[in-house]
């Protein structure tokens, strides 16, 4: 990570775009990791943020688009005294993560279905999650309480 990115991250918010491509995960993880590091987040919290962002991103890649084109997905990360706020915008088909079917957690190994697990994890690790549809975009905003010390 360059010092340019450090300077941007220490400001109010940090934004970047990724294409709707699984290979972009290789860019996503170091950015989110660095964001957590700069704001002094503990290991567990950094993991949870990383996980939630990946789950949302991979959901968008898998379900938001029917064409084979590249689409930019916008991420805005913000850290204040107690919270990390993350906003993710895509211009794909209307898709509200919050209305997706929850995972069947009671099913045993034989009958456990594979779907819904990502969304279940997102719900468990965020303190607040909001979906909006605005100007042909899906906007997911999540807040994760971090109890960050002023640095």
Partner 1 sequence: MEIITNRDGEILTLKLKGRLDTNASMEFEQQVEESTNQNTKNMIIDFSDLEYICSSGLRVIIQAAKKLKSLQGELVLCSMEDYIQEVFEISGFDTFLKIFASKEEALKSF
Residues 10-39 that bind partner 1 (CB under 8 A): 22-23, 25-26, 29
- Taking the complex as a whole, how short is the minimal distance between the CB of residue 108 and partner 1, in angstroms? 5
Check residue 64 for interaction with partner 1 (CB under 8 A): no
Check residue 121 for interaction with partner 1 (CB under 8 A): yes
Give 116: exposed, middle or buried? Use CB within 10 Å, 0-12, 13-18, 19+: middle
- Taking the complex as a whole, how short is the minimal distance between the CB of residue 109 and partner 1, in angstroms? 4
Question: In the set 16, 117, 131, 143, which binds partner 1 (CB under 8 A)?
Answer: 117
Using CB under 8 A, count the residues that bind partner 1: 27
- Taking the complex as a whole, how short is the minimal distance between the CB of residue 36 and partner 1, in angstroms? 12
Residues 86-115 that bind partner 1 (CB under 8 A): 103, 105-106, 108-110, 112, 114
Sequence-separated contacts (24+) of 92-95 with Cβ below 8 Å: 92/20, 92/60, 92/63, 92/64, 92/65, 92/138, 93/63, 93/64, 93/65, 93/66, 94/133, 94/138, 95/59, 95/60, 95/63, 95/64, 95/138
- Taking the complex as a whole, how short is the minimal distance between the CB of residue 93 and partner 1, in angstroms? 21
Binding positions for partner 1, rule: CB under 8 A = 22-23, 25-26, 29, 43-44, 47-48, 50-51, 54-55, 58, 103, 105-106, 108-110, 112, 114, 117-118, 120-121, 124
């Amino acid at each position: 990570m360059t010092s340019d990115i450090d300077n941007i991250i220490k400001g109010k918010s940090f934004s970047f775009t990724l294409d709707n491509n699984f290979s972009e995960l290789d860019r996503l993880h170091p950015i989110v990791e660095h964001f957590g590091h700069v704001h002094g987040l503990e290991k567990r919290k950094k993991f949870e943020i990383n996980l939630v962002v990946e789950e949302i991103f991979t959901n968008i890649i898998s379900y938001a688009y029917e064409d084979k084109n590249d689409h930019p997905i916008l991420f805005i990360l913000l850290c204040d005294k107690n919270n990390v706020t993350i906003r993710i915008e895509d211009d794909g088909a209307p898709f509200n993560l919050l209305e997706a079917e929850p995972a069947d957690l009671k099913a045993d190994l034989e009958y456990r279905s594979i779907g819904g697990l990502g969304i279940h994890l997102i719900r468990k690790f965020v303190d607040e999650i909001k979906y909006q549809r605005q100007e042909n975009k899906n906007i997911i905003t999540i807040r994760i309480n971090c109890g960050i010390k002023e640095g």
